Amino acid sequence: MPQNPRYAFAYVPFQKFENLYNTNDALWCGTLFKDLYMPFSDYANNPIMSPFK
């Protein structure tokens, strides 16, 4: 975060290139970063994020 953040501006830290999938697994999972992987079943069963409930 900046030292003096401004309201209504998004501040997103850069993703560090660590804990990575190999190329084939990354294509299958939809992300290179293992920390960002969220299977659809986890998404669908989460009442806050699910459009199906």
2 found inside a domain: no
Q: What count of residues does the chain have?
A: 53
3 found inside a domain: no
The structure's pTM equals 0.56
CA distance 27 to 40: 15
Number of domains the chain contains: 1
More confident: 50 or 34: 34
4 found inside a domain: no
pLDDT (tens digit per residue) in 7-22 = 888 888 888 899 999 9
Are the C-beta atoms of 20 and 26 separated by less than 8 Å? yes
Q: If 0-12 CB within 10 Å is exposed, 13-18 middle and 19+ buried, where does residue 22 land?
A: exposed
Q: Which domain holds residue 46?
A: 9-53
pLDDT of 23 = 96
CA distance 40 to 45: 8
